[in-house]
Amino acid sequence: MHKSWMKRQSRLGYLFIGPNMIGVLLFFIIPAVYSFYLMFTDYKFMSPETHFVGLDNIRRMMNDDLFGVALRNTFVFLLAVPVSMGLAFIVAVALNKSVYWQKTLRALYFMPYITSGVAIAFVWMLLFQPTSGPINGFLRGIGIANPPGWLSTTEWSMYAIDIIWIWFMLGYNMIIYLAALQEIPEELVEAARIDGARPWQTIRHVIWPLVSPTTFLLLITGLIMTIKNFGIIQAITQGGPGNSTTVLSLFIYQNAFRYYEMGYAAAISWALFAIIMIFTVLQWIGQKRWVHY
């Protein structure tokens, strides 16, 4: 009796999960396995033959100067994450209780995140225009005679992308921080105030430690989100000038769909996976710590 009930439960379970599982199998699991196989081949789109090449792609990656450049650019790109979080924390603390127009202000800060896409990429392209763009116009206005060339120079292009990304992520980080701040018991902040703590001391010694699990979570998820992204960069610079904004994720796209080096692209994409895996493991370890709070 019990056994047949279990069986019925199992059948029902698969009935519910089945439709979704088919899609996950078709569009996630099978492609992932297939890509893993491609990593060990010299598969080029439209080429007549494909050979098994073992670890050649991985070796090639290790010796590819461009891979090194892409990796370095990726790390510069990732710098945007902590900066954006720092700003977001300040905004979140300010917007948590002590201002008027809270809802409107939150919505305004969040706006860039929802309008993600190519549109904002092109707006920033013009804002950053080196000779006559408004940003450099402003910088000249405050007395900087030779403002940076931003997206048009190899030294500045990646930092220009960082600025866009900081702007883009700020609202997201702020919302998560706000959610965390609202979990903090009022009494704790009140107690610190009664003990004579100044506002910034309360922030530094009470609020900041209490939201540290959120900081950690945001850092890891932000790094993962950033490392996967290439749309904004593809739209603005296509990786240029030179290769100064070619990040790892864009490098994969270029190898696969510009040069049709699909085996090689598969290998790099698994390198990207490895990095994400490290971040995920870190998060998993951190989450255990988080439970204690």
- Using CB under 8 A as the binding rule, the residues of this chain from 221 to 280 that contact other proteins are 221, 227-228, 230-231, 234-235, 249, 252-253, 256-257, 262, 265-266, 268-270, 272-273, 276-277, 280
Q: How far is the CB of 276 from other proteins (least distance, A)?
A: 6
Q: How far is the CB of 133 from other proteins (least distance, A)?
A: 7
How does DSSP assign 150-166, residue by residue? GGGSTTTHHHHHHHHHH
- Select 101 or 208, whichever has its Cβ closest to other proteins: 101
Instruction: Out of 44, 60, 72, 106, point to the residue binding other proteins (CB under 8 A).
Output: 106
Rounded to an integer, what distance in angstroms lies between the CA atom of residue 274 and that of residue 2?
44
142 Cβ neighbours under 8 A, 6+ residues apart:
none
Q: How far is the CB of 175 from other proteins (least distance, A)?
A: 5
The backbone torsions φ and ψ at residue 49, rounded to the nearest 5 degrees and listed phi first, read: -125, 150
Q: How far is CA 179 from the centre of its chain?
A: 20
What b/e sequence results for 231-262 when a residue is b if at least 16 CB atoms lie within 10 Å of its CB, and e otherwise?
Answer: ebbbbbbebeeebbbbbbbbbbbbbbeeeebb
Interaction between residue 218 and other proteins (CB under 8 A)? yes
Q: How far is the CB of 179 from other proteins (least distance, A)?
A: 4
- Select 243 or 280, whichever has its Cβ closest to other proteins: 280
Helices (H), the chain: 2-24, 30-38, 56-63, 65-78, 80-96, 102-114, 118-127, 134-141, 157-181, 186-194, 199-202, 208-210, 212-228, 231-236, 248-257, 262-291
Residues 109-168 that bind other proteins (CB under 8 A): 109-112, 114-120, 122-124, 126-127, 129, 132-134, 137, 141, 167
**How many chain residues touch other proteins (CB under 8 A)?**
92
- Select 115 or 201, whichever has its Cβ closest to other proteins: 115
157 Cβ neighbours under 8 A, 6+ residues apart:
150, 151, 237, 240, 241, 244, 245
Residues 46-85 that bind other proteins (CB under 8 A): none
Q: How far is the CB of 110 from other proteins (least distance, A)?
A: 7
Residues 174-213 that bind other proteins (CB under 8 A): 175-176, 178-180
- Select 76 or 105, whichever has its Cβ closest to other proteins: 105
Q: How far is the CB of 198 from other proteins (least distance, A)?
A: 12
